[in-house]
Structure 1
Amino acid sequence: MLKKMSLALVMAGLVGGAYAATEADVDNTFFPYKKGFPSFPGLSVGTVINKDNVDQFKDALADGTYMMIKNGNTTVTVGESIDFELPKEYIKATRDNLNKTKLGANPGDNISGFVAGRPFPEEPDINDPRAGEKLAWNYKYGLNWGDNAVIRPLIFKYRNMESGEVERTLTNHFSFLNFKHRIKDDPVPEVTPNPSDLFRAIYLEVVGPEDLKDTKLLIQRYDDDSKLDDAYLYLGFQRRVRRLAAGQVTDAFLGSDLMIEDFEGYNGRVSDMKWTYKGTKNVLLPMWKHNEAPLSDEIPADDDGYKYIKFGGKGGCFLQAPWQLRKAYVLEATPVNPNHPISKRVFYMDAQLQNLNGAIEIYDRNGKLWKVWSVGKSHPDYHLPINKGTGIGIDDGFQMVDVQSNHCTTGHFRGEIDKAQTPPQKFQVQYMRGSD
């Protein structure tokens, strides 16, 4: 009898309380729509959700999105749901390394055995107390911007939501580089030398306005998640680099509505948060084909004709491109540090890409909704030619709405998957004293 029970547990994948992923799990995580896309009663391509009909579609919306529509701040137009297939190299790495990654003994501990790909491809289980933590690791080692990319430019506009006044325009260049666990662009699997054992780095330079020009930010994230990120700020008028204290990543970034910790949806360590999986639901997320979406006349087209995603709604704060009905994991992140300025973030994580920036709600320390935050993504095959065939969802614009102060910051992107623009020396402190 005991032998039969043990065999049954093995067959079920439950060995020592740990779920063993299967080839079927890999197929399901990367191809969630092989049997068709989700549907919702009354919802079809071209449906415009506004304050008058939003209650009909409440269960297909993130809570923050529902509130923005219900209050009459914006509308959402439903677009065609499409497949965002990830690079075959990432899928292969997941298959090749299936079940090699193990959680640490306690929540927040480092994982072990990770090589490349998606660490935990199995479907999250609401009865698994560490399902949220697994999704967080999938995000850390996911492909937000791939092995390397640039956003040139990323334009921030600070907007008064009541008057619609654009108070300030900030033009930035962002660069991203994965030092380790690379899957596609040479060098694979890692950049060497890498004496600090960095996993990833972000480099930002402000190119305007004049009073902030040459401000530069460098964030270096270690592969060892127990190590605090190294963050450095270069102020052009001071002509010196200073190291940022850990608490400064939760300050408003250059007067915007974003913290450094908000970058890319969540720009922090897995161990900085307690992660709780709250369930799976089909929700509308801002994902589209850039070349077929409404484009802006607010920002002049680039020399090659590239135009930016259109914004509208109250104060010009809201993405106007269509949203797709997608399978999403609802993930709650509560700061471990009791002095953190927020009480929690709620992410609606796209199940296929497993990024953390489709729809987010940020709550203040008193548990009151503070900000509604979304980054829209374009399919790479319908964006700039350099992105075609990369398999990387291209961040295409963001809306960060402070619902307590009636203020917002919008982001307007020109993103390129291009290793030629991300030399490793760019992500070192010495580089900050030079010019980009």
Structure 2
Amino acid sequence: MKFNTITMMAFLLAIGFVQGQSLPDGQSIAEQTYARNEGNSVKRKLIMELTDKRGKTRVRETTALRKYFGEERRLIIFYETPTSVKGTAFLTYDYPDAEVDDDQWLYLPALRKTRRISASNRGDYFLGTDLTYEDIKLETKISRDDYNYKTIGIEQVDGQECYVLEATPKDEATAKELGYSKGKFWVDANIWMMRKSESWDIAGNPLKTVHVTDIRKVQGIWTLHRIDVQNHKTKHKTVFRFEDIDYSTDLSDDYFTEEALVDGL
């Protein structure tokens, strides 16, 4: 059997051995996705396209802000169109301490009420999309707290070498919260961004595939511009597009409060 260079490299990586070195363990790869430079803050447009199994598409336009407060990461999303969801807002506080549950709130203008989202609800789908509240928070990171990982090799995604990780929730309670029995992640070996993931539901059935594309530098920072999510059970899909990305704007701390959910931009 004749091997070309790429085939031979893939074979060596698959058995976990390249030039005498084993593949990095999954937990260290997860940590690297958090260590990646994201800038101190960012402002961007986030456009969501939701398509049901009949092919009907709805579009949601939002403004998303993110800022670091020391090691604590805060994200807020303001819905702008259509009018049926205008004024809806979502806020999350991502704490660095794994022992402390993250705080999340959702403001629904029709009810004139802010609802706190508990950790047990983080596996719920985010406002009709195919990502969960937890997925929205993580973006291209992979959780360093929820899974046991096994690095199984290196594969290419969109021409880029990625570490391939198999993941299982650390316990049954975590699996129930996330809504996943297992996962598989492809993490870019050079820029430490997740480029692809697959997940299975609690019963072990294929649930969804996430594909992150159009990754390029903005103001010197590697930045995603598109996420495609396909739900294999419902045949629903969501496209997230990021535009007008700016890391240089000085964002006021006042944007990242419960009061800002009601007040808006």
Question: Shorter-chain TM-score: which interval?
Answer: 0.7 to 0.9
Q: Secondary structure at the match of 2:241?
A: strand
Q: CA-to-partner distance for each residue in 1:192-241, whole Å, 9 max, x for gaps? A: xxxxxx52111111112222111111110112222110111111122232
Equivalent of 1:425 in 213, 238, 254: 254
Equivalent of 1:413 in 226, 229, 242: 242
1:400 matched to 2:242: no
Which residue does 1:230 correspond to in 2?
103
Count of equivalent residues: 245
Confirm or deny: 8 A CA contact 1:377 1:393 kept in the other structure. Answer: no
| RCO higher in structure (CA 8 A, sep ≥6) | 2
Which residue does 2:17 correspond to in 1?
none
Q: Secondary structure at the match of 2:204?
A: coil
- 5+ long unaligned stretches in structure 1: 1-38, 42-58, 60-123, 181-197, 286-324, 381-386
Equivalent of 2:200 in 363, 373, 376: 363
Which residue does 1:215 correspond to in 2?
88
Q: What is the 5 A alignment of 1:6-25?
A: none
CA RMSD of aligned residues (A): 2.5
Confirm or deny: 8 A CA contact 1:277 1:331 kept in the other structure. Answer: yes
Confirm or deny: 8 A CA contact 2:72 2:95 kept in the other structure. Answer: yes
Task: Kindly provide the amino acid, as one letter, of the partner of residue 232 in structure 2.
Answer: V
- CA separation of 1:228/1:269 partners in 2, compared to 1, >3 Å: closer, same or farther? farther
Q: Secondary structure at the match of 2:105?
A: strand
What is the TM-score normalised by the length of structure 1?
Answer: 0.52
Confirm or deny: 8 A CA contact 2:130 2:230 kept in the other structure. Answer: yes
What is the TM-score normalised by the length of structure 2?
Answer: 0.83
Confirm or deny: 8 A CA contact 2:33 2:140 kept in the other structure. Answer: no
Following superposition, which runs of at least 4 residues in structure 1 exceed 6 angstroms of deviation? none
Q: CA-to-partner distance for each residue in 1:100-158, whole Å, 9 max, x for gaps? A: xxxxxxxxxxxxxxxxxxxxxxxx944x7xx2111111112323x43221221x11111
Q: CA-to-partner distance for each residue in 1:400-429, whole Å, 9 max, x for gaps? A: 001222221112220413242532221122
Confirm or deny: 8 A CA contact 1:174 1:205 kept in the other structure. Answer: yes
Confirm or deny: 8 A CA contact 1:155 1:412 kept in the other structure. Answer: yes
1:149 matched to 2:23: no
Question: In structure 2, what is the Cα distance between the partners aligned to 1:147 and 1:377?
Answer: 22
Q: CA-to-partner distance for each residue in 1:72-94, whole Å, 9 max, x for gaps? A: xxxxxxxxxxxxxxxxxxxxxxx
Task: Kindly provide the amino acid, as one letter, of the partner of residue 162 in structure 2.
Answer: A
Q: What is the 5 A alignment of 1:31-180?
A: 40=6, 125-126=22-23, 131-143=25-37, 145-152=38-45, 154-161=46-53, 163-166=54-57, 168-180=58-70
Task: Kindly provide the amino acid, as one letter, of the partner of residue 210 in structure 1.
Answer: T
Structure number with bigger Rg:
1
Confirm or deny: 8 A CA contact 1:343 1:367 kept in the other structure. Answer: yes
Q: What is the 5 A alignment of 1:328-347?
A: 328-336=162-170, 337-340=174-177, 341-347=179-185
Which residue does 1:273 correspond to in 2?
147
Cα offset, 1:40, TM superposition: 4.7
Question: In structure 1, what is the Cα distance between the partners aligned to 2:83 and 2:264?
Answer: 15
Cα offset, 1:269, TM superposition: 5.0
Higher strand share: 2
